[in-house]
Amino acid sequence: MRNILNYITNIFAVPACFFGLLLATMWLLIDSREFGPWNPKYLFLIHGTTVGNLGLVEPVNGSVAYMGESQDGTAPAYAYVTFKTTSLPGEIIETYNARCQSIGLAAQRQTINPQKLGLTCVREGAEVGVTASRLDDATEVSINGWEFN
């Protein structure tokens, strides 16, 4: 009897695992990629990327949104995060400049206008752009990055 139960279990377990993997793959390939920091997609698409390693600077609760795409053929993996903070754009750019340099990225600042500052961080295999724009009493920050390897 035990052998029959093991046999039946194996017959159902293999297809169940296959369909589970298929559903998980389909879930990751859905066109809409925007998700929050507690979504499991964060682990697959953001965690471990350069954007994920830079972290966030004092985000306002509920303002964090991620987007990401995994590498597809010769297209690089892409990670994007936006959030709002009460810090000033200059402070944000200074913080990310230091963080970029600490993980081995060459940083170059850009001044778009007094209310909007930018930073580009580059190394072989990765490129990250940071912009910080002051809007009323908050600063909107966007960090986008490409992973080529």
pLDDT digits (tens, 9 = 90+) for 44-100: 788 888 898 999 999 998 888 888 887 777 778 888 999 999 999 999 999 999 999
pLDDT digits (tens, 9 = 90+) for 1-39: 777 777 777 788 778 888 888 777 666 666 556 677 777
pTM, rounded to two decimals: 0.75
Extract the tokens encoding 143: 């960090």
**DSSP state letter for 24:** H
The upper half-sphere exposure of residue 115, i.e. CA atoms within 13 Å in the direction of its Cβ, equals 7
Task: Supply the pLDDT for residue 30.
Answer: 62
Contacts of 121-129 with C-beta under 8 Å, sequence gap 24+, read 121/50, 121/96, 125/149, 126/50, 128/50, 128/51, 128/54, 128/100
**Cβ partners under 8 Å of residue 120, min gap 6:** 107, 108, 110, 127, 128, 129, 130
